[in-house]
């Protein structure tokens, strides 16, 4: 009985790693050397209490470095085609994105200007309407003779309050505009800071907002510049073995 294979029967298993498999085969000697060296680690004494032991440990480190250097050389060689291809892909799509970003920036500038103008005009209109109603209300109240006329006067005052509240609304409320394709254009207002004089910047006030990582980098830059004393930091000389 003939059974036809289903769609996708030629696809590799879910956990397949063709690149890893090829590298393992092509660089089998490198893998073997790595295994030899890492297994030899068990033969390195915990305490190197003789010059001979230190010398052998140094030679072992040198062998590890040589194997690592070889692995790095192979890595760079293997990855280069992928990097070149990736760079070509990035360049192609980034060219499109750059043109789109420039177009967006141009339109965004015009939108900002138009929406700001619309918001300012609406705010002004609401203020002027509130003022007009209040003046009319004051004049009407001065002429009022009946209870109904007084009530109408108070109603106009409430209407003026409504316009004043509208005038104080956020710019986004004054400038919201909808496009035929569903877009909603409005103003996004936020406070931003810009350093105008780095020498006069109040670092003490900014301290709670500076990350520890940034502070660590600043301390090490301070030490690298040759400084040895800094309140709040421990500056000491550390030695590490260097094998060449």
Mean pLDDT of successive 10-residue stretches along the chain, which has 244 residues? 51 77 95 96 92 92 95 95 94 95 92 87 84 78 65 68 68 72 79 91 93 94 94 90 82
CA-nearest of 67, 82, 6 to 32 is: 67
> Do residues 136 and 156 make contact, with C-beta atoms less than 8 angstroms apart?
yes
Could you tell me which residues come within 8 angstroms of residue 45 by beta carbon, excluding any fewer than 6 positions away?
A: 53
- CB neighbourhood size of 162 (10 A): 13
**The pLDDT value given to residue 3:** 46
> Do residues 133 and 142 make contact, with C-beta atoms less than 8 angstroms apart?
no
Q: Determine the Cα–Cα distance for residues 174 and 118; give it in Å rounded to an integer.
A: 7
**The pLDDT value given to residue 144:** 62
Q: Determine the Cα–Cα distance for residues 156 and 168; give it in Å rounded to an integer.
A: 19
User: What phi and psi, each to the nearest 5 degrees, are found at residue 165?
Assistant: -65, -40
CA-nearest of 38, 41, 44 to 56 is: 44
- Predicted TM-score (pTM) of the model is 0.55
Could you tell me which residues come within 8 angstroms of residue 177 by beta carbon, excluding any fewer than 6 positions away?
A: 115, 118, 184, 185, 186
Q: Both tokens of residue 114?
A: 């138009």
Q: Both tokens of residue 156?
A: 């106009």
Could you read off the pLDDT of 221-239 as tens digits, one per residue?
Answer: 999 999 999 999 999 998 8
């Amino acid at each position: 009985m003939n059974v036809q294979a289903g769609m996708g029967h030629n696809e590799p298993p879910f956990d397949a790693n063709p690149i890893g498999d090829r590298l393992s085969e092509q660089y089998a000697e490198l893998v073997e050397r790595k295994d030899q060296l890492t297994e030899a680690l068990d033969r390195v004494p915990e305490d190197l209490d003789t010059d001979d032991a230190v010398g052998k440990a140094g030679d072992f480190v040198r062998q590890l470095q040589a194997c690592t250097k070889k692995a790095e050389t192979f890595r760079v060689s293997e990855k280069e085609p992928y990097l070149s291809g990736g760079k070509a892909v990035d360049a192609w799509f980034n060219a499109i994105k750059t043109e789109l970003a420039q177009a967006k920036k141009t339109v965004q500038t015009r939108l900002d200007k138009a929406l700001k103008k619309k918001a300012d005009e609406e705010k002004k209109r609401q203020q002027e309407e509130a003022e007009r109603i209040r003046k009319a209300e004051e004049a009407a109240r001065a002429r009022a003779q009946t209870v109904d006329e007084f009530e109408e006067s108070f109603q106009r005052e409430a209407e003026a309050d409504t316009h004043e509240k509208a005038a104080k609304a956020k710019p986004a409320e004054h400038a919201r505009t909808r496009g035929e394709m569903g877009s909603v254009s409005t103003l996004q207002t936020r406070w931003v800071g810009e350093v105008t004089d780095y020498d006069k910047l109040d670092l003490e006030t900014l301290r709670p907002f500076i990350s520890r990582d940034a502070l660590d980098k600043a301390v090490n830059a301070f030490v690298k510049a040759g400084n040895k004393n800094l309140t709040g930091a421990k500056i000491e000389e550390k030695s590490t073995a260097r094998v060449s």
